[in-house]
Structure 1
């Protein structure tokens, strides 16, 4: 900043051909302008002005340097103007990491794109724990509680797991009435892509977690195939409610053991900690919180990630 101040003093003095006039424009003393320029000359090892008792004139080096300095201050003004414009209207690239179930969130994302057409969305689908800052993401959406003191976080919705299958499946194989009955059924499992482990079903029995050795009929590291297999009558799948709302509403999937599951999970949006959010990120966070899980109406407050 001291260097910019010296450059500004130089430009004002060069254009006014007077240290006194430059001092008046800058609101400092003429001696302060003279000292700033003298330090600048010393640092550059070049003389910028010819000085006399009545005027100052630029040296050839000073003339060349003045043109460079004018370009610098034009760039600074352009940068400031650009920032002012971004405050007025959200625009620019927004890089977002979504879980592998993110395709099922696309209706909300496409609604955001229609609402803010000048924001360019760059989507990355992954269930791994990304480094938001090091990998250059503007925002990350994940389930569960994620801790990083460098990040801000906001809860954008809750979801509930359901055990579902097609009506035809239950007609052929019967309806389980307790977690232990699942041992006799075809079970469709989700595998975490990041760890390779099967996602446990949140079964409860009498208020405590139930441990059941579930059969494995099929495994997928994405939810869409599990939904399709369940609709086709191939077995029972454990799926979050937001992924199967249409199927539940239309009756192609039916839920069982609803009172014997842990009922709630959370989705959060995380972004690098900053005192001032860019307009594009602010509207994205607010839009996701308001629209991603409207059935539950959950929108938390901004806070430091714990």
Structure 2
């Protein structure tokens, strides 16, 4: 069994092409990874990597050895999953969510209540995370994300609304057409990854309008913008599921519904090696069921 450690170090280094990345995944230093692989090469009597100051590639022997090692670890993981599937979902679950995910609290709470034996570790970011290298079990993203290295499930589609408080609409008037937004306080979301303001997609007679309202306030997360709108400080363009409660209790009202036709997609992605994991399956099932309900 003490041989599995160096084999794992080799596999991680080979798959990431980096001792540093391998060490980060294994919780050890890059030098420790290097020493483990050096001892492995000495035992095998063959070099596994071609190394230079800038690149690291597998030797022919290393490539053959990697395939064998991957098969070994796949079998170990399959055996672990076989046992795990016979028990209740439990353990740590690392989830990456978009910043808008802060508004998915009802769905996340439903999961936490249903599976108290699972410890959630939530990371909110709009950057493109490396699921495997950074050690995430599952990633939720809005919009279409394609990665051939990951398993993907579409949870559903959602619409957009422009909302304002009854007090704001009483004071400033209800816009009747997109052009009326020029006279309103518009609260804009800025995408962290690109630095660009999110476009308010409005259309007339099936054609998108080339029109952007002036921004009176900007934030890189939706939560404060929705809070400002609730306090009567302007209008905000946001996915419907983020303001479902406010629309239901009347603290926000939607406007210009007939000019909005954009829809978004909510997806879940996870590493193929985790496929069949009970805790990931439980998370995906609950989020699909609850998020769809949130959109209703």
Shift of 1:85: 4.4
Query: C-alpha displacement at 1:276, in angstroms?
Result: 4.2
- 2:191–2:198 Cα contact (<8 Å) kept: yes
Aligned ranges for residues 8-47 of structure 1 at < 5 Å?
none
Matching of residue 197 in structure 1 with residue 196 in structure 2: yes
| Distance (whole Å) between structure 2 residues aligned to residue 82 and residue 237 of structure 1 | 45
Q: CA deviation at 1:82?
A: 8.7
Q: 1:80 to 1:148 in 2, by over 3 A?
A: closer
> 1:256 corresponds to which residue?
255
CA contact (8 A) 1:98 1:126 kept: yes
Give the TM-score taking structure 2 as reference length. 0.70
In structure 2, list runs of 5 or more residues that go unmatched.
5-42, 44-75
Q: CA deviation at 1:180?
A: 1.3
**Secondary structure class of the residue paired with 2:289:** helix
State the superposition RMSD in angstroms: 2.6
The 1:254–1:121 alpha-carbon spacing in structure 2 relative to 1, beyond 3 Å, is: same
Residues 174 and 147 from structure 1, CA distance in 2 versus in 1: closer, same or farther, beyond 3 angstroms? same
- Structure 1 residues 74-93: aligned runs within 5 Å: 84-85=83-84, 87-93=86-92
**CA distance in 2 between partners of 1:265 and 1:129 (Å):** 18
Alpha-carbon distance in 1 for matches of 2:225, 2:84: 46
Distance 1:162 1:102 in 2: 17
Q: Find the counterpart in structure 1 of residue 108 from structure 2.
A: 109
Aligned to 2:179: 180
List 4+ stretches of structure 1 deviating above 6 A: none
Partner of 1:130: 129
Q: Is the CA contact (8 Å cut-off) linking 2:142 and 2:267 kept in structure 1? A: yes
Distance 2:120 2:244 in 1: 26
1:126-159 deviations in Å (ceiling 9; x for gaps): 0111111121111000011101101111111322
1:146-174 CA-partner distances (Å, limit 9, x unpaired) = 01101111111322110111112122222
How many residues were matched structurally?
A: 224
TM-superposition CA deviations, 1:257-291 (whole Å, max 9, x none) = 10101242110101112484211111111111112
> Which protein has the larger Cα radius of gyration, Structure 1 or Structure 2?
1
Q: TM-score with structure 1 length normalisation?
A: 0.68
Asked if residue 98 in structure 1 is aligned to residue 97 in structure 2, the reply is: yes
Aligned to 1:206: 205
2:151 counterpart of 1:152: yes
User: Is this contact kept in 2: 1:175–1:256, CA < 8 A?
Assistant: yes
CA 1:174–1:85: 2 relative to 1, 3 Å: closer
Alpha carbons of structure 1 residues 285 and 213: separation in structure 2 relative to 1, 3 Å: closer
- Show the counterpart of 1:265: 264
1:93 Cα offset (Å): 1.2
